[in-house]
């Protein structure tokens, strides 16, 4: 989990074994597709935004990454609200909490 800028630290991500990036920032940037697989989700950090409608797709992306032996960076603008939301949604779904 990290802020928007974390996706620009290519070598650090490679060293950590990151293979997939779930981008929930609403910001466009040049992907490093040679190194990572991406899932970009345009979702605002607003109370009226319905994050739940995206959980099935993001959970699938995270699970496929883990099943292939990869690791996932989930990034939002500051890494404090959207990123944890999608990580918790995955954990709740996976562990059936």
pLDDT over 70, % of the chain: 98
Q: Cα–Cα distance between 58 and 3 in angstroms, integer?
A: 18
pLDDT of residue 66: 97
Q: Which two tokens stand for residue 21?
A: 């990036």
pTM: 0.89
Q: Would you kindly state where each structural domain of the chain is located, as residue ranges?
A: 4-91
Max mean pLDDT range (4-8, 14-18, 28-32, 40-44): 14-18
- 34-76 pLDDT, tens digit per residue, is 999 999 998 887 788 889 999 999 999 999 999 999 999 999 8
pLDDT of residue 47: 82
Tokens, residue 93: 């779904």
The domain 4-91 is placed in CATH, from the list 1.10.150.20, 1.10.1060.10, 3.30.70.3460, 3.90.190.10, at 3.90.190.10
């Amino acid at each position: 989990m990290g802020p928007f800028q974390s996706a620009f630290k290519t070598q650090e991500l490679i060293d950590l074994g990151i293979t997939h990036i779930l981008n929930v920032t609403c910001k466009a940037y040049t992907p490093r597709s040679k190194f990572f697989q991406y899932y970009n989700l345009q979702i605002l950090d607003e109370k009226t935004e319905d994050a739940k409608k995206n959980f099935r797709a993001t959970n699938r992306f995270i699970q496929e990454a883990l099943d292939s032996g990869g690791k996932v960076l989930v990034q939002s603008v500051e890494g404090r609200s959207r990123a944890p939301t999608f990580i918790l949604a995955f954990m709740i779904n996976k562990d059936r909490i």
